[in-house]
């Protein structure tokens, strides 16, 4: 009898059930999309913040002081220690290698250049542009195109295996060269594949593949410093602690969190005789901006959850209120308050489950659309979210119905049947 009552109610009141169902579906859809966006926004913004470039700098442990003024290196190239280029792919073997977006080795040297005004000595920077490397079975591409996204090239980036070079825009203007010209560096002709504009010191330099700089220096495999761009978690109290003072359990937690400090620690482990340090300008501010945006989205998500909970309860309350004659009839026929409430709650649960499932699917699509249109990447939704969202839908639907059900049950059947509630 009970099952039949519920079944008939759904069969006969299609319009009302549809309206309540639509409200639940929309509410759950919006809630799902917002939860998905809010949980993923940290990751997405973190990726966007990588526009600021590398947040970690790896230098040789026994290095002498930098002698840079206004981006011009005064240190003799022969001075100081070097990292070994062969160690670099090992970065892909560290614990947090998925968080490492890219890295670029740098080797500043000076090179004799033959130009129209006679021979001169010019700074030359060796680096990777978009170098294909492999670690184990894995192939990956890294270089300044990833770690220094604000570098702009007019013309083309040099092919990694060629001997082509880029000319900084100020230097190009001074030498009167343009993309496609040839330039004699250290007695060899090189093609200028493009003109580089960075807004920094590189604008007055030659930027060449790393191997060319090593050849000029006469030290194969030498790297002066390494810029690493990694996605990190905002710093907290644990992050700032010295790993040497931690116990084993705490150390594991620290080591397995993508703090900029623990990634620096792992880089030092991976590359022998190196010193890794966070570039505070990028790393510190990244944490601040990230936590602000995450906090904002969290509060906005709460507002969305609140609004959809309210929409669902309003729809349910209206749906039940409209059925008070029915309640009056049931009561007149001798139904107890408990069994009437049970019918309504079962109906509400069924509606919530159906609306919740459809809403979850719709919300997933919505989140995906938001991710694709704003961040050009998919927002992934954890399947764990599904039972969680369904449970919320049922609870909210119940809460929204409870008051209306109570009023319906307490109603005097005589008034209800006469339609005077």
Rank residues 81 and 342 by Cβ distance to another protein and give the closer one: 81
- Coil, strand or helix at 119: strand
**Residue 299 burial (CB count, 10 A):** 11
Q: Which of residues 103-162 bind another protein (CB under 8 A)?
A: 148-150
What is the chain's percent helix, strand, coil content, to nearest 5? 55, 20, 25
Which structure tokens are listed for 323? 């059925």
Q: Which of residues 4-43 bind another protein (CB under 8 A)?
A: 19, 23, 26-27, 30, 33-34, 37, 41
Q: Determine the straight-line distance between the first and last CA of the chain, rounded to whole angstroms.
A: 28
**For the chain, what is the radius of gyration of the CA atoms?**
33
> Which region among 84-92, 266-274, 276-284, 389-397 touches another protein (by CB under 8 A)?
276-284
Among 152, 99, 157, which Cα is nearest to 127's? 157
Cβ at position 380, least distance to another protein in Å: 16
Binding mask 180-219 for another protein (x = CB under 8 A): ------------------xxx-------------------
Rank residues 209 and 400 by Cβ distance to another protein and give the closer one: 400
Q: Which of residues 60-79 bind another protein (CB under 8 A)?
A: 64-70, 72, 74-75
Residues 6+ apart with CB under 8 A from 340: 327, 330, 331, 405, 408, 409
Element (H, E) at 191: strand 188-197
CA–CA distance, 298 with 305 (Å, rounded to integer):
10
> Which region among 83-91, 183-191, 320-328, 388-396 touches another protein (by CB under 8 A)?
320-328
> Which region among 92-100, 174-182, 301-309, 330-338 touches another protein (by CB under 8 A)?
301-309
The residue from 10, 13, 43, 44 that contacts another protein (CB under 8 A) is: 44
Q: Which of residues 387-406 bind another protein (CB under 8 A)?
A: none
Rank residues 216 and 366 by Cβ distance to another protein and give the closer one: 366
Residues in contact with another protein, counted by CB under 8 A, come to a total of: 74
């Amino acid at each position: 009898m009970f099952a039949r009552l519920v079944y008939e109610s759904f069969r006969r009141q299609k319009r009302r059930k549809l309206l309540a169902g639509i409200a639940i579906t929309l509410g759950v859809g919006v809630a799902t999309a917002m939860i998905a966006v809010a949980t993923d926004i940290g990751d997405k913004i973190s990726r966007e913040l990588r526009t600021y470039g590398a947040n970690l700098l790896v230098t040789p442990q026994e290095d002498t002081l930098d002698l840079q003024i206004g981006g011009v290196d005064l240190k003799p190239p022969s001075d100081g220690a070097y990292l070994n280029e062969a160690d670099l792919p090992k970065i892909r073997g560290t614990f947090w290698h998925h968080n490492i977006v890219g890295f670029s080795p740098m080797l500043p040297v000076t090179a004799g250049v033959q130009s129209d005004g006679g021979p001169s000595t010019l700074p030359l920077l060796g680096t990777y542009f978009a170098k294909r490397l492999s670690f184990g079975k894995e192939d990956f591409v890294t270089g300044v195109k990833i770690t220094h996204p604000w570098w702009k090239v007019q013309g083309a980036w040099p092919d990694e295996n060629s001997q082509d070079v880029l000319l900084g825009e100020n230097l190009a203007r001074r030498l009167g060269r343009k993309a496609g010209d040839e330039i004699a560096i250290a007695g060899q002709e090189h093609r200028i594949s493009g003109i580089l504009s960075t807004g920094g010191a590189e604008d007055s330099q030659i930027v060449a593949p790393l191997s060319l700089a090593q050849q000029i220096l006469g030290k194969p495999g030498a790297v002066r410093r390494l810029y690493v761009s990694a996605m990190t978690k905002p710093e907290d109290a644990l992050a700032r602690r010295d790993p040497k003072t931690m116990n084993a359990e705490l150390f594991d937690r620290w080591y397995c969190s993508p703090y900029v400090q623990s990634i620096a620690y792992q880089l030092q482990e991976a590359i022998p005789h190196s010193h890794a340090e966070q570039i505070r300008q990028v790393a510190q501010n990244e944490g601040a901006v990230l936590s602000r945006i995450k906090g904002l989205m969290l509060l906005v998500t709460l507002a969305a959850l609140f609004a959809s909970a309210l929409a669902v309860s309003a729809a349910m309350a209206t749906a039940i209120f409209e059925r008070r004659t029915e309640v009056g009839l049931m009561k007149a026929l001798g139904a107890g308050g408990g069994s009437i409430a049970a019918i309504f709650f079962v109906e509400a649960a069924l509606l919530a489950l159906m609306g919740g499932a459809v809403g979850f699917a719709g919300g997933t699509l919505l989140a995906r659309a938001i991710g694709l249109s704003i961040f050009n990447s998919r927002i992934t939704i954890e399947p764990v979210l599904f039972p969680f969202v369904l449970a919320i839908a049922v609870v909210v639907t119940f809460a929204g119905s409870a008051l209306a059900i109570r009023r319906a049950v307490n109603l005097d059947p005589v008034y209800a049947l006469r339609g005077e509630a």
